[in-house]
Structure formats: structure tokens, C-alpha cells
Amino acid sequence: MIKSKRVSFLLLILTSSLSFAQDKISVLVIDGYSNHDWRKTTSIVTTILEKTNLFTVEVTTAPANQVEMDSNLWKPKFKKYDVVIQNTNSYGNRPIWSRTIQLKLQKYVNSGGGLYILHSANNAFPEWEAYNQMIGMGWRSKDYKKSIVIETNGNTTIIPAGEGGSTSHGKRIDALLNKLTEHPINQGYPKQWKAADLEIYSYPRGPIKNLTVLSYAKEPKTQLNFPTEWVVNYGKGRVYNSTYGHVWKNSVDYPNSVRCIAFQTTLIRALEWLATKKVTWQIPSNFPNKDAISLEEF
């Protein structure tokens, strides 16, 4: 394992912040309920972002029951922010956003806003068709839309509805990720790197419209290559979606999934790109390689 040195990471933050001459990127985190530990997830992500000096972060907590949700008392103001992090998950009969809020998010992204889908948020809202279009693929049943398999030569094969399986994952592993598409988010990454404690979804499903796969990994049970990160163009806006960032209930304070330098670096660079279409955050010297993960100390 490559061990991170806190001093070198802080020096990287200082160097990057000094070169950053424009206003900070405003980020809104939406949380409030999930089958994962949404409180801890929000806290960790906020810590990672604020220490870069690139972002200002605000949090809006959605009501955790449907009656309160439908009362429309919760009124997030998306248009105030450069990018939104979606950290709620309706899986398990949890609330569905009110139609008013749904339409506001659709308008925000369609008009040019950035949307970051944080781990289990791609499990949410299967009945909301525009959300399915925005996230491209998510945790969906076998009969819903399409999935993608990446062949060994890098070509993609579309799996139609009814074939393959419903979305699932096995045990989290230190997964070997393969860069598929060069993109501002991953420009300069190695061709392969290990991501710590990652879930590899088999058969993520969705409309797969205006979608670009950034990386993929081999799912151990099926021995097939499935996407691990992808971006979607939705109107004038941009969406980033991945399986990075798992924080389970009753987990340690800082699980390896979020101590992972690949996760932290990609989170920062993806949010920059979503907000500005550019990336200035440098890739740290301790970014993982194909042989070992790399972890940051909190």
C-alpha cells in the first residue's frame, strides 16, 4: 500500500490554492436520508472540499418523510450554486422529491448547472424519468432500459432490457480501474489505478443518452467489465456519476473508500469540471498506481 504523507498533501493544497485566482466554486450538498450514512458522507465530503480552498460548501437537508416533502416547505435554491452534490437515496421506501423540486433540478441542470451524483444517489428515484436521463445509468431492475459492458479491446456492448441482470454488486474490493476515455477530469491519470474499497456495479442500467464512460473495472462474479465512472450531458448542463464514496452505517469514522486518494482527487476535479468545464486541481504525487491503493490520513 502507498502511504500518504499529510505534509505533502497540504503542500499540494497550498500550491493549488495560490494558483487559483478566481472566485471560489459554490457547492450545494443535498442530504437528509439514505440507506447509507448520509450525515457522515456529507461531513467527509465537506472536509475534503473546504481544505482545497477552491470551494464554498453549503448543505440543505431534505425532509425525511413524504408528508413533509409534499408540503413544499423544503425549497433548495439550486440556481444560487455552481454545482449540486446529490446525497439522498429514496431506496427502501424513503421519500421521493416533490414534483416542484424535481422540476427545479431539471431546469437547473438543463440550463447549464452541474450535478454530482454521490455514490448511492444513483439508486434513487427510479420513477423520475428525467432523473434517469440525468444520471445516465443507476441501480435499476433488469427490465429497465439498457446496460453497458466494456470488452477487452475497449469497445462497448449494449445490453438491452431483460438481458443480463438487475444492478447488483458483490463485496467491496480494492478495484483496478481502467481509463477508457481521456477527459478533463482524468487527464494525466495513469491508464490503470487501484481505488480503495470500491463497489463495482454489475449491469447499471438507464437510458444511456449523451453518456461517456470514463473508467471501468472487472466485476469479480461475472468476470465482465462494467463502467465505474461516467459523465452525461443534459441540455446545457453536465452530470458526473460513479460508484466512488461508499460510507455505510456504523462504519469507522473514515473508511478507506473516502480516504482513497483516487476518490478525493476525482471528487475535486469532477466538481471543478461540472462548474467551469475546466480543471486546475493537480494530480497528487501519491495518486495510486495499478499495483497499490493510496490513502489519505484525516
Give the count of domains, the chain: 1
CA distance 226 to 97: 29
Note the pLDDT tens digit of each residue in 108-123: 999 999 999 999 999 9
Domain that holds residue 267: 2-295
CA distance 68 to 126: 21
HSE-CB for 227 with a 13 A CA cutoff: 30
Which CATH number fits the domain that encloses residue 143? 3.40.50.880
Higher-confidence residue: 14 or 130? Answer: 130
What number is the average pLDDT over the span 248-252? Answer: 84
Which letter does DSSP use for residue 12 in this model? H
Note the pLDDT tens digit of each residue in 18-55: 444 469 999 999 999 999 999 999 999 999 999 999 99
pTM of the entire predicted model: 0.92
Q: How confident is the model at residue 249 (pLDDT cuts 50, 70, 90)?
A: confident
Q: Does residue 5 register a pLDDT over 60?
A: no
